[in-house]
Amino acid sequence: MISESINANLQLNCRLNLTALYGTFNNDMSSCSTVDITTDIIEMVENDTIVIPKSYDFNKRYPLKGSRKFLQIAHKNRIYNITEDKYSDNIVIDLSSSESEISIIYNVFIDPLANWRGIIAGQLLQLKSFGIVSEADVFVHITDSHKLSDEAVKLIKSIIPTATISISTENKFEYGGIKLVHSLAKLRPDRKYIYFHSKGMSHGLFSRSLVDITLMTTTFSKWRKHIQHLGKNGVEKIGMFPGFGDENPSGNLGKEGGFIWFNFWYATGKYLSNCPEPHHNQDRYYYEKWLGFQNGDTIPTLREDCRSIYKVKMMPTTFYSSQQANHYMDRLIYKYNHSSLSKALPYIIRSSLIFHLYLKMKNLPRNLHFRKRKKIIG
């Protein structure tokens, strides 16, 4: 019986042409230190569908060193990366499907005064390191009025060759990205959508802000776990801090709110397709609050359709004011960057004060320090 089972698995594997590796991977999701567990995964296949029990502990079965471990399944031209986590449901992978169920929309504004190459590359490489890019269709909208888009396209394609890129020249804040996500959702309301933008670009930063880095990590590193909740139990939107506005200080349902602070989020296509057509607005915060509108709403409206990623201990909080969101974001930045001196240094170096001093020193006459020193010595 055992030999028959082994033969059956071998035949199934030959037909599926499937391989599965478990262990540590580099940031580009290439194998680092892994073991082949194809046989284990083959036993989870039924009718061309892999069902991985939510309680399955790969690390217990294969105790490997390393803190960043994935199960990577390769099938034909598709790659699935499953990170270790506490999932709410079994992980189901339909091997017969040739389409992605996830669309990622990245809105880029190019500011030539900022290190725009570093911000774009940093965000996309970080996203890629979460293992989601191979399971999603990626769309990038670039706003560029400085004739830098050709170089930006080459940069993006070097990281995500399959990305679909659109370009506009007039700065309309996040209009291009929001318009794109709405159009895609109208075409494919059955999909799940991820949206984020080039946070910090407009501030002329010479490196990525810690808000950006922290948002990317906390919002998207556990993407598969969060997406399992979309479209279930009334959840249509997920983000770090679902918000209510200043006009609704008590956070009452039916009043202002329903968006995600910082505008890094997940949403169902069904929900997005019922959002009103976005329009150009001089108020840049409109593009953040747009997510709270449904057709017929006169204000972004707080409903019980959001899920908060950030959890406050001893407080079942789902919605946050802008002050609360900023406060808890500061705590997250401290948590992820101040646990040691080596982690604190980037925060100090990237601070606005250091940047101000850097610019002041850069604009000083080249021989100023030499003249002063010579005068003192004399």
Q: What is the CATH number of the domain that holds 326?
A: 3.90.550
Residue-level pLDDT at 31: 93
pLDDT value at residue 202: 85
The tens digit of pLDDT for each residue in 306-338 reads 999 999 887 778 899 999 999 999 999 988 776
Q: For residues 211 and 325, give the distance between their C-alpha atoms in angstroms, rounded to a whole number.
A: 12
The CA R_g of the chain, rounded to the nearest whole Å, is 24
Interval 122-145: pLDDT, tens: 999 999 999 999 999 999 999 999
Residues 157 and 186 placed together within one structural domain of the fold: yes
Do 165 and 230 lie in one domain? The reply is yes
Query: Got the DSSP string for 77-100?
Result: TEEEEEE----SS-EEEETT--S-
Measured CA to CA in angstroms, residue 28 lies from 81, 125, 134 at distances of: 12, 7, 11
Q: Are residues 186 and 38 in the same domain?
A: no
Show which of 75, 94, 113 is a domain's final residue. Answer: 94
Over residues 250-289, the pLDDT tens digits come to 999 999 999 999 999 999 999 999 999 999 999 999 999 9
Q: Which tens digit of pLDDT belongs to each residue from 336-357?
A: 776 554 444 444 444 444 444 5
| Cα torsion angle, 255, 260, 332, 199, sign | negative
* Whole-angstrom distance, CA of residue 69 vs CA of residue 83: 6
| Statement: residue 228 has pLDDT above 90 | yes
As a whole number of angstroms, the distance between CA 282 and CA 172 comes to: 8
Give the count of beta carbons closer than 10 Å to the beta carbon of residue 138.
24
Based on the domain organization, do 257 and 139 belong to the same domain? yes
pLDDT band at 206 (very low <50, low <70, confident <90, very high): confident
Find the domain containing 66 and state its range: 2-94
Q: How confident is the model at residue 106 (pLDDT cuts 50, 70, 90)?
A: very high
303 with 348, same domain: the answer is: no
One domain, residues 212 and 237:
yes
Confidence at 15, pLDDT banded by 50, 70, 90: low
Residues 212 and 123 in one domain: yes
Tell me: pLDDT of 118 over 80. yes
127 and 241: one domain?
Answer: yes
Domain boundary among 51, 66, 94: 94
Same domain for 223 and 138: yes
What tokens were used for 337?
A: 């960057």
When divided into structural domains, the chain yields a total of: 3
